[in-house]
Amino acid sequence: MRGFALSVPARRRYGGFMNSSTATTPPATPTRRHRGRPLTLPNILTYGRIVAVPLVVGCMFWQNILHGGLWLRWVALGIFIAACALRIRRARARRQAIAELRGLDDRTLRDIGLSASDIEYIVWRDMGRE
C-alpha cells in the first residue's frame, strides 16, 4: 500500500501543487500576473478625484488672491460636490456587492472560491479603498 501512495503523482496525492517548502519543482504552467489598465473608468474617476483637490484650492486662490470672478467659487463648489458624489456612489456599490455576496450560502461561496470571512476583503480589494 505504501508503494502505491508514492507512485501516484504529487498533484493527486496532495490535491494540488506542493509549495516551495515541500518541493523544488515549479508548477507545470507558470502563472502570469495581468497588468492593470490605467485608463479604465474606475481609474479615471480616481484620477479625477485626486485632481479635484488642487483644482478647488486653485479656484479659491484665484478668486480671493488674484481677484478672479465670483464664478470661480461656484466652479470650486461644483468640483467638490462632484467628487463627493463619486465617493458616495462607490461606497453604495461596495455595500451592494457585500450584501449580494453575504446573501449567498456557504456552498455557493465555495464554488466561486470564497469563504464568508473573505467577502469584505475581496470587495474592498477589487473596488478600491477610497
How many CB atoms sit inside 10 A of residue 14's CB?
13
User: How much is the pLDDT for 1?
Assistant: 47
Give the separation between CA 16 and CA 22, rounded to whole angstroms: 12
127 vs 33, 41, 96, 106, CA distance in Å? 18, 12, 12, 22
Residue 55's pLDDT band (boundaries 50, 70, 90)? confident
- Cα angle: 25, vertex 36, 49; to 5 degrees: 145
Instruction: Please check the confidence at residue 39 and state whether its pLDDT lies above 80.
Output: no
- Mean pLDDT is lowest, of 28-32, 71-75, 89-93, for 28-32
pTM, to two decimals = 0.51
